């Protein structure tokens, strides 16, 4: 009987460890824009006891032009870049940087006007199962086999673009690949069958912007919060428009921040609109919203705050100064005095907040509501770093103008 009990215990422990391992592996994935839940939370970073004076460069690769973030699955990193006259998807070994496969998706359209200095992709790919989805600056949507890069399906019918071309990142949910495309007068939200590319539903008349949809739950129903040029929209997974919250901004204002979700509360931030919190509720068949609070003084520009333990951490719209807001009241907990860049990206590492400025500086600071407390700062590039960093284990991956670099925290 003792032997049987021990065997049962051993099996229980083995299964528990296997489940734990699978859980960690799942959390290690970085499938799309801002991670697993589009909240900027890194689940598997190994914080050092003391941050080093310098980061250790493990490898670097010249990959081409893009401002899009990279994604990761099963020890491989995927990027969507411009090489020569083409938009290309790359698959690299995360440990060595060695190229595993590449696929030329389509010819890269000419990027003109104010967006001309940024001809590469800005849309972060999305990994779902055995597929990876990429979206080009001209609206070309590609679905590739993640193992070898073979094209499964593509769609190039939506060629109208916003003023600064396509920058939203696709999301896959309920076996649908959902994108927001079109220009000021031709905005359209489209859901494609994720495996076949067949069009499932559309919502027309909502001008596209540079924000990306995020999934939330209202009551017991999953819905999408979608930021348009003028409103925050609620969209059902069946393509119904559920609500519209006006988000007007100042002149030369562009909605580019992704909505931050906390249960049924949404934090809306932007240039010229400050930051506000709204609560979404479902009463019968109707959705309603109420404003929790509004802070007109602290908004963001081309970045999205992270929510951690009841506080929002971000970089303000004009000079990129770090700030911390109380998520329950909107009151300022602290505001730093050092200017950085309004394109600064922010991630939650667990024990620290990590920010990457557009001029190649990594900032590591404590997630505390009392004051800005910097633990470390590193210069990781001499060219612009608009893409969000990718973090896994004790490694930080950064993308500058053309180079992708793997750094190690030792």
Q: Are strands 221-227 and 214-218 parallel, antiparallel or unpaired?
A: antiparallel
What are the domain boundaries of the chain? 45-64+303-342+344-385+387-410, 67-210
228 backbone φψ class: left, alpha, beta (φ>0; ψ -120 to 50): beta
Please tell us whether the domain made up of 67-210 is placed in CATH 2.40.128.630.
yes
Region 45-64+303-342+344-385+387-410: CATH code: 2.130.10.10
d(CA 71, CA 49): 27
Exposed e or buried b for every residue in 220-235, given b needs 16+ CB within 10 A? eeebbbbbbbbbbbbb
pLDDT at 282: 95
d(CA 168, CA 257): 10
What is the DSSP code (8-state) at residue 115?
A: G
What is the DSSP code (8-state) at residue 121?
A: B
What is the DSSP code (8-state) at residue 159?
A: -
3-state secondary structure (DSSP) of residue 4: helix
What is the DSSP code (8-state) at residue 113?
A: G
d(CA 256, CA 374): 27
pLDDT at 252: 59
Which are the contacts of 185, defined by CB distance < 8 A and separation ≥ 6?
160, 207
d(CA 37, CA 263): 12
User: Which of 156, 160, 166, 155 has its CA nearest to residue 186?
Assistant: 160
pLDDT at 237: 98
- 19-60 tens-digit pLDDT: 433 333 344 489 999 999 999 999 999 899 999 999 999 999
Q: Are 29 and 127 in contact (CB under 8 A)?
A: yes
Q: Are 280 and 243 in contact (CB under 8 A)?
A: yes
What are φ and ψ of residue 190, in 5° steps?
-125, 135
Under-70 pLDDT residues of the chain: 1-28, 249-253
| C-beta neighbour count of 138 within 10 angstroms | 21
Q: Are strands 322-326 and 311-315 parallel, antiparallel or unpaired?
A: antiparallel
């Amino acid at each position: 009987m003792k032997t049987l009990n021990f065997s049962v215990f051993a099996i229980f422990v083995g299964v528990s460890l296997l489940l734990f391992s699978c859980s960690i592996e799942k959390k290690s994935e970085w499938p799309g824009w801002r991670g697993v839940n589009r909240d900027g939370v890194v689940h598997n970073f190994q914080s050092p006891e003391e941050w080093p004076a310098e980061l250790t460069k493990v490898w670097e690769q010249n990959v081409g032009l893009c401002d899009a973030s990279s994604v990761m699955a099963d020890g491989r990193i995927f990027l969507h870049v411009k090489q020569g006259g083409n938009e290309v998807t790359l698959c690299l070994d995360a440990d060595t940087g060695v190229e595993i496969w590449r696929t030329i998706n389509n010819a890269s359209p000419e990027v003109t006007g104010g967006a001309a200095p940024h001809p590469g992709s800005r849309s972060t790919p999305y990994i779902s199962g055995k597929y990876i989805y990429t979206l080009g600056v001209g609206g070309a949507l590609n679905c590739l086999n993640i193992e070898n890069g073979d094209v499964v399906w593509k769609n190039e019918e939506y060629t109208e673009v916003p003023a600064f071309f396509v920058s939203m990142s696709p999301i896959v949910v309920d076996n649908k690949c959902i994108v927001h495309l079109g220009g000021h007068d031709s905005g359209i939200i489209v859901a494609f069958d994720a495996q076949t590319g067949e069009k499932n539903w559309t919502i027309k008349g909502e001008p596209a912007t540079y924000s990306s949809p995020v999934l939330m739950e209202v009551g017991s129903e999953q819905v999408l919060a979608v930021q348009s040029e003028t409103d925050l929209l609620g969209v059902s997974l069946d393509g119904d428009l559920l609500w519209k919250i006006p988000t007007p901004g100042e002149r030369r204002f562009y909605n580019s921040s992704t909505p931050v979700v906390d249960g049924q509360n949404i934090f809306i931030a932007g240039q010229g609109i400050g930051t506000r919190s709204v609560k979404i509720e479902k009463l019968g068949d109707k959705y309603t919203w109420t404003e929790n609070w509004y802070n007109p003084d602290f908004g963001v520009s081309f970045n999205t705050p992270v929510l951690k333990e009841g506080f929002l951490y971000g970089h303000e719209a004009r000079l990129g100064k770090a700030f911390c807001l109380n998520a329950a009241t909107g009151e300022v907990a602290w505001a730093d005095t050092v200017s950085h860049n309004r394109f600064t990206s922010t991630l939650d590492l667990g024990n620290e907040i990590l920010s990457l400025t557009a001029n190649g500086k990594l900032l590591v600071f404590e997630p505390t509501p009392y004051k800005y407390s910097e633990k470390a700062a590193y210069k990781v590039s001499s060219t612009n770093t608009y893409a969000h960093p990718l973090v896994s284990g004790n490694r930080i991956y950064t993308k500058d103008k053309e180079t992708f670099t793997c750094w190690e925290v030792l």
